[in-house]
Amino acid sequence: MAKLQRIKVVDVMATPSLVSQEINVKGWVRSRRGNKNVSFIALNDGSTINNLQIVVDLSVFSEETLKPVTTGACISVIGQLVESQGKGQTVELIAKEVEVYGTADPDVYPLQKKGHSLEYLREIAHLRPRTNTFGAVFRIRHNMAIAIHQFFHERGFFYFHTPIVTASDCEGAGQMFQVTTMNLYDLKKDESGSIDYSNDFFGKQASLTVSGQLEGELAAMALGSIYTFGPTFRAENSNTPRHLAEFWMIEPEVAFNEIEENMQLAEDFIKYCIQWALDNCQDDLNFLASMYDKELLERLNFVIGNEFVRLPYTQGIEILEAAVAKGRKFEFPIFWGADLASEHERYLVEEHFKKPVILTDYPKEIKSFYMKQNDDGKTVRAMDVLFPKIGEIIGGSQREESYEKLTRRAQEMGVPEKDIWWYLDTRRFGTAPHSGFGLGFERLLLFVTGMTNIRDVIPFPRTPKNAEF
């Protein structure tokens, strides 16, 4: 076959000047149909959800030649690009040469043309990126990652890699994965019967991080504005459509930002990402909307088009109590001090305000030790961004900058000072007001793609009893 530079399908479709040119495309066969005169191959190369139609004249190619060209086969085609006669596409390729790179035996290839359930596709996660649904989801996933880096880079934030393996356990025990190189068949113990970690790789007990925030704060107190974007881990035995043992988090942290600026940053940030999706992922979004969620685009535009309500938790509780008094039923009880459930968050967003809501100033008992304490002695300067359909999408706070208050609160909440002496040092030396928040990347993707199971927005989900591929 003559050496002609291969062109991606997305570029073929975006370049009108290619019409009537001879071009080379390569990709995977999604389907082949036709009659005894002509065969139509739908070719997809992953660059776009759209297939390029290949027209094969059966007076030129024998049916025998086309026999291996079945769903899933990989082919290279040289031909002339022409304006399409049929409907559903603007251009098509009149095949001149067809080379088969790899066949896909129809008797065993798991992805035939017919639709498969998402559950089934999860079992063949190594092949599911070849489907329309997962091609769309993963192209959107890429775009959201790029939007995130772009947003922060444009604003002078520095991307900061916090460690994955850590010897600190600041969120409390029991939910972390242990990391070790010890021979589990020959564990050394000291006189008291405790495992001797001095010979473990890191010389002490080590785990996978649950959050990069504390290290991110160190960086913010030096570089000013930073963000993390990396994997985090929770060993919760939760087999639900909302939990993953391994997921990616984005955690910006900004020196000198108080909670108002933190709220504005969160609102600007999430709107930027969603606008990016609307601008850059139109075909994929339209496909997902048509297949899974008719209200997807409406919901994305709802977020873009509304200013987020800012509301103290206490007022949120009053609104919910008033609703209950008027007969609104909730599964979980409402009272000051309660951790809001998704149904409460969604009531505020979807029914009461009809706008995204940022709830602030939560009771200190239900929030972390590092949040800035308000003067009322009861609440902390936390903020949760609440969205339609999914409830909380972002959680953050202004951080406690006072060494004394932070140390006292850590003690009260049982966080050992020996584990966070380095964190406390930022308050001992040149402390300043600062704020940040965390966004679960897959939570964002659920919202943007309209998918309902978090296992379907990450390539290889890790959940209890599952670490395949």
Task: State which of positions 200-259 bind a second copy (CB under 8 A).
Answer: 201-204, 206, 208, 215, 218-219, 221-225, 230-231, 233, 235, 237, 245-246, 248, 255-256
336 binds a second copy (CB under 8 A): no
Count of residues in the chain: 469
Fill in the per-residue mask, 413 to 432: x = in contact with a second copy (CB under 8 A), - = not in contact. Answer: ---------xx-xxxxxxxx
Nearer to a second copy, 42 or 349 (CB): 42
SS (H, E, C) 295-341: CHHHHHHHHHHCCCEEEEHHHHHHHHHHHHHCCCCCCCCCCCCCCCC
Which span (172-180, 305-313, 320-328, 335-343) binds a second copy, by CB under 8 A?
172-180
Smallest distance, Å, CB 444 to a second copy? 13
HSE-CB of 102 using CA atoms within 13 angstroms: 7
Residues in contact with 166: Cβ distance below 8 Å, sequence separation at least 6, in sequence order: 206, 207, 208, 209
Does 167 help bind a second copy (rule: CB under 8 A)? yes
Q: Is 180 in the site for a second copy (CB under 8 A)?
A: yes
Residues 123-142 that bind a second copy (CB under 8 A): 126-127, 129-130, 134-135, 138-139, 141-142
* Contact residue for a second copy among 88, 102, 172, 337 (CB under 8 A): 102
Q: Report in angstroms how near the CB of residue 343 gets to a second copy at its nearest.
A: 30
Which stretch, 54-62, 88-96, 175-183, 284-292, contacts a second copy (CB under 8 A)? 175-183
Q: Which is nearer to a second copy, 281 or 320 (CB)?
A: 281
Count of residues that bind a second copy according to CB under 8 A = 105
CB of 43 to a second copy, least distance (A): 11
Which span sits near a second copy by CB under 8 A: 2-10, 50-58, 311-319, 348-356?
Answer: 2-10
Contact string (CB under 8 A) for a second copy, positions 349-388, x = contact:
----------------------------------------
Could you tell me which stretch among 79-87, 159-167, 300-308, 335-343 binds a second copy (CB under 8 A)? 159-167
Q: What would the x/- binding string for a second copy be over residues 381 to 410, using CB under 8 A?
A: --------------------x---------
Q: Which residues contact 246 (CB under 8 A, 6 or more apart)?
A: 231, 232, 233, 458, 461, 462
321 scored as a contact of a second copy (CB under 8 A): no
Task: Report how far residue 149's alpha carbon sits from residue 118's, in angstroms, rounded to the nearest whole number.
Answer: 30
Considering the complex, state which of residue 230 and residue 395 has its C-beta at the smaller distance from a second copy.
230
8 binds a second copy (CB under 8 A): yes
CA distance 438 to 250: 6
Nearer to a second copy, 91 or 195 (CB): 195
Contacts of 411 by beta carbon, 8 Å cutoff, 6+ apart: 417
**Torsion angle, CA of 125/127/128/134, rounded to 10 degrees?**
110
As a three-state string, the secondary structure of 260-282 is HHHHHHHHHHHHHHHHHHHHHCH
363 and 312 in contact (C-beta within 8 Å)? no
Q: How many CB atoms sit inside 10 A of residue 91's CB? A: 16
Which residues are bridge partners to 438 per DSSP? 395
* 29 scored as a contact of a second copy (CB under 8 A): yes
Of 47 and 342, CB closest to a second copy: 47
Q: Which residues contact 162 (CB under 8 A, 6 or more apart)?
A: 209, 212, 215, 216, 219, 228, 230
Which candidate, 395, 337, 406, places its Cα nearest to that of 372?
406
Backbone angles phi, psi at 219, to 5 degrees: -70, -40
Q: Which of 50, 51, 133, 162 binds a second copy (CB under 8 A)?
A: 162
Backbone angles phi, psi at 437, to 5 degrees: -155, 170
Per-residue contact flags (x/-) with a second copy for residues 64 to 93, judged by CB under 8 A: --------xxx-x-----------------
Indicate the residue among 187 and 366 with the shorter CB distance to a second copy.
187
Q: Which is nearer to a second copy, 184 or 325 (CB)?
A: 184
Binding to a second copy by residue 445, rule CB under 8 A? no
Taking CB under 8 A as the criterion, the residue among 158, 292, 330, 353 binding a second copy is 158
Contact 72, 129 (CB under 8 A): no
Place of tokens 């040469």: 97
Among 18, 22, 46, 275, contact with a second copy (rule: CB under 8 A): 46
Asked if residues 104 and 71 have their Cβ atoms less than 8 Å apart, the reply is yes
